């Protein structure tokens, strides 16, 4: 199994738009660093030069006619590069990888949002990742209308952010289904609370994984 080949832990952070991913990822990174963990923070789509260029294509309005399969395959193309160049080497060296979105986002957005059957996504997941899966996934969960109102304050919407509320409702539901299927790695955080309360919830789940690690 993958875990036996590596020492680092792989933590992913997920959620729909406006759930507060950025500030909470910074909080997670700082908490782990204070516990003496060597953390590599990265993101998807992106994390490598190739991946960041693919990200630009994926988010660009000029590609409003992108087919759903092209979108799915570009996500996994960026992911393949990211795993080979960044994630696997870091985990093998014993570093912890903190990733802003990973394959759960594909099940949520391309599966739930765009309607691609889960089995197609699972085929690519096995192909590109082999047995690599996150050790822990922090899902920042929030009613969609609150998240969209927060995201609207951030300015220009990208190709995903311009989708309608119903799309994001489907994305949120797909995340919750993923969480039900793999409860051992999912930690659902109520992101409708104040930032302080959200961080208390996150600190509690990090404490558990740090204790397991003996850190
Ligand atoms: P964000 O990281 O700033 O939220 O932007 C990335 C966008 O890409 C976000 O709208 C979600 C979307 N996305 C997918 O649709 N599928 C994926 O697999 C990933 C990683 C992201």
Return the structure tokens found at 162.
Answer: 């311009």
State which ligand 1 atom lies nearest to the alpha carbon of 113.
15
Taking the centre of ligand 1 as the mean of its atom positions, its distance from the CA of residue 105, in whole angstroms, is 6
Strands 10-15, 39-43: parallel, antiparallel or unpaired by DSSP? unpaired
Q: Which one is predicted more confidently, 4 or 94?
A: 94
For a mutational test of ligand 1's pocket, the pick from 23, 61, 80, 101, i.e. the residue with the most ligand atoms closer than 8 A to its C-beta, is: 101
Helix, strand, coil percentages, rounded to 5, for the chain: 60, 15, 30
pLDDT at 147 over 50: yes
Name the one residue in this structure whose structure tokens are 């997920």.
14
| Average pLDDT of the residues of the chain | 94
pLDDT at 3 over 50: no
Phi-psi label, residue 15: left if phi above 0, alpha if psi -120 to 50, beta otherwise: left
Sign of CA dihedral 15, 18, 21, 27: negative
pLDDT of residue 215: 62
Are 113 and 170 a contacting pair, CB within 8 Å?
yes
Q: Name the strand (E) or helix (H) holding 141.
A: strand 136-141
Beta bridge partners of 96: 39
pLDDT of residue 1: 35
CA distance 82 to 84: 6
pLDDT of residue 191: 97
For a mutational test of ligand 1's pocket, the pick from 109, 113, 158, i.e. the residue with the most ligand atoms closer than 8 A to its C-beta, is: 109
Length of the chain: 215
pLDDT-above-70 percentage for the chain: 97
The tens digit of pLDDT for each residue in 23-51 reads 999 999 999 999 999 999 999 999 999 99
> Does the beta carbon of 106 lie inside 6 Å of ligand 1?
yes
The tens digit of pLDDT for each residue in 47-90 reads 999 999 999 999 999 999 999 999 999 999 999 999 999 999 99
pLDDT at 2 over 60: no
Are 54 and 77 a contacting pair, CB within 8 Å?
yes
């Amino acid at each position: 199994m993958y875990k036996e080949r590596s020492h680092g832990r792989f933590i992913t952070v997920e959620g729909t738009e406006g759930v507060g991913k950025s500030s909470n990822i910074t909080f997670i990174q700082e908490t782990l660093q204070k516990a003496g963990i060597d953390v590599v923070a990265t993101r998807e789509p992106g994390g490598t030069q190739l991946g960041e260029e693919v990200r630009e294509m994926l988010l660009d309005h000029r590609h409003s006619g992108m087919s759903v399969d092209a979108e799915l395959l570009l996500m996994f193309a960026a992911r393949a590069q990211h795993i080979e160049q960044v994630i696997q080497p870091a985990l093998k060296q014993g570093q912890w990888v903190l990733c802003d979105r990973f394959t759960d986002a594909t099940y949520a957005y391309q599966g739930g949002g765009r309607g691609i059957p889960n089995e197609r996504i699972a085929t690519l997941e096995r192909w590109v990742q082999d047995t690599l899966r996150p050790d822990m996934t922090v899902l920042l969960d929030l009613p969609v209308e609150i998240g969209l109102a927060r995201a609207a304050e951030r300015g220009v919407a990208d190709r995903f952010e311009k989708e309608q509320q119903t799309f994001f409702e489907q994305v949120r539901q797909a995340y919750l289904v993923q969480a039900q299927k793999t409860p051992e790695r999912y930690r659902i955080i109520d992101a409708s609370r104040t930032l302080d309360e959200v961080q208390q919830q996150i600190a509690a789940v990090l404490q558990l994984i740090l204790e397991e690690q003996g850190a």
